Amino acid sequence: MISAKSLFHKVEFAWHTVAFILLMGAFIPLWRQSTWGGIDPGLGDPVQRAFLGVAYLGMALLILHPRRALATARRSALLWLLVGWAIISVLWSALPDVTLRRAVSALLASLYGLLLVVRYPVRSVLQMLGIALAIVIIASLGAVLLFPEWGVMGPPHPGAWQGVLYHKNALGRTSILALLVFWILAQDGKGFKKVAWLVLELAALVALVGSRSMTAILIGLILAVSWLFLRGMALLPRLLKPALLSLGLTAAFPALFILPDYLEDVLGLLGKDLTLTGRVPLWNSLIPLALERPLLGYGYGAFWSATGPSAPVMALFRWALQAHNGYLDMWLEIGLLGVLIAFALLLITLVRTGQRAFQTRNAGVWRFAFLFTVFLLFYNVSEALLMEVNLGRGFYWVIFSYMYFLSASDRISSAGGERLTTGDRL
């Protein structure tokens, strides 16, 4: 007979898995897009906000771990500084009500990351992630095969797969994340579990290719190179590591001068042009607006709205609901001061996780954390992901917050008051 405690753990595990699926932007945004069409990013969507609220309900479990949560939060000042800066920006925001709403969502997403650190063993979190990603990938492939009117995009990207997500790029980046998680779980698995994760790895690769998201494919290559570099650094004696780093920088520096001569050919191979599919003209239009408020920005979440500061740009670039560059978006919203805090946050997390990737018995988790940070650092060049809070992008801030809290807490072996029985058995 199943005990009440065991049943609660199973329900809890299932709850977080569903929350991850919702936060990834599976099913709901695609349905809303198909029924309502485009939604003003400033006004937002009340239905999506309702589902975000459902996803964050599990955060109430933080009250069960007040001391551990407070101790971990105290070691994470830089993340709270960034979130706090976003909240304070309501004072100068072009749309104060939007800024307040988005800032509260960013705070909730950060607290959700804190909950994952203080309550659950790291392997349980990875398993929840893995199952959620497996459901999204399998459902996406099923949608492509059985419901192509939903799973396959039409113009301007005819034939590209979007699965149960709202765009091919969303499926592409989700597939990259799935490749990382499935690979880590396969490394730790044995027998049938190992085979199952490897089969899912193949399914994620098929979804990635079918999405035709060249950005995601390029990020995948960058992650592979980053991993090889990290592994090479780990295998070298300590005295030779600075020499390898210097050699890499020495080789990269001349490439900065050679690349412009071949840039058009390289972009052609990636299916892009010198405008990066219209991104460069968009950026050229946004930078003068950013320079009007360079230090503080227009307020967190307050720039992109049909009635806000972005109105002239949105009229000129009707496809633009974001800057398609997360750093530029942050500059527009919370100014250069916010961008500097975000960069520091990313770089500190990158160094911490890279140092621990081969130094602990939970090396697999730290490898994932390092590669996820690299993923976020580079993906933010072409898509706004950092500290985004809507369905589909808020998920990445939750996971990054989790990684940062984990690296700051230095308590990976005891992260969680109660072991999640269901997760440990999977």
- Distance CA(78)–CA(19), nearest Å, equals 26
Q: Is 239 helix (H, G, I), strand (E, B) or coil?
A: helix
Contacts of residues 284-291 at CB distance under 8 Å and 24 or more positions apart, as own/partner, are: 285/313, 285/316, 285/317, 286/313, 286/323, 286/328, 286/332, 287/328, 289/313, 289/332, 290/328, 290/331, 290/332
Q: Is residue 265 part of a domain?
A: no
pLDDT, tens digit, 9 for 90 and up, residues 202-211: 999 999 999 9
**Position 426: which residue type?**
L
pLDDT, tens digit, 9 for 90 and up, residues 288-310: 999 999 999 999 999 988 777 88
Domains: count for the chain: 1
Cβ 413 vs Cβ 362: under 8 Å: yes
- Distance CA(206)–CA(267), nearest Å, equals 23
Q: Is residue 258 part of a domain?
A: no
pLDDT at 203: 97
**Position 123: which residue type?**
R
Q: How many residues in the chain?
A: 426
Q: Is residue 422 part of a domain?
A: no
- Distance CA(289)–CA(298), nearest Å, equals 10
- Distance CA(190)–CA(367), nearest Å, equals 19
pLDDT at 250: 62
Q: Is residue 31 part of a domain?
A: yes
Q: Is residue 19 part of a domain?
A: yes
- Distance CA(79)–CA(86), nearest Å, equals 11
User: Which residues, other chains included, contact 128 with Cβ-Cβ below 8 Å and sequence gap of 6+?
Assistant: 13, 16, 17, 20, 120, 423
pLDDT at 412: 43
Q: Write out residues in the chain with pLDDT < 70, as ranges.
A: 1-2, 33-45, 234-277, 359-361, 410-426
- Whose CA is closest to 334, among 64, 18, 106, 73? 106
- Distance CA(47)–CA(370), nearest Å, equals 34
- Distance CA(91)–CA(72), nearest Å, equals 29
- Distance CA(46)–CA(28), nearest Å, equals 12
The upper half-sphere exposure of residue 171, i.e. CA atoms within 13 Å in the direction of its Cβ, equals 34
- Distance CA(72)–CA(410), nearest Å, equals 9
Report residue 177 as tokens: 């994340």
Q: Is residue 319 part of a domain?
A: yes
Q: How many CB atoms lie within 10 A of CB 193?
A: 13
Q: Is residue 425 part of a domain?
A: no
pTM for this model (two decimals): 0.86
User: Taking the mean position of all CA atoms in its chain, how far away is CA 372?
Assistant: 8
Q: Is residue 392 part of a domain?
A: yes
- Locate tokens 């697999």: which residue? 364
The DSSP line for 138-150 is HHHHHHHHH-HHH
DSSP annotation of 360: S
Cβ 344 vs Cβ 336: under 8 Å: no
Q: How many CB atoms lie within 10 A of CB 55?
A: 25
CA distances from 144 to 8, 79, 148, 368 (A): 35, 39, 5, 29
- The boundaries of the domain holding residue 340 are 9-241+271-417
CA distances from 259 to 8, 221, 253, 256, 262 (A): 56, 18, 10, 6, 5
- Distance CA(255)–CA(139), nearest Å, equals 42
What is the maximum alpha-carbon separation in the chain?
70
pLDDT at 43: 57
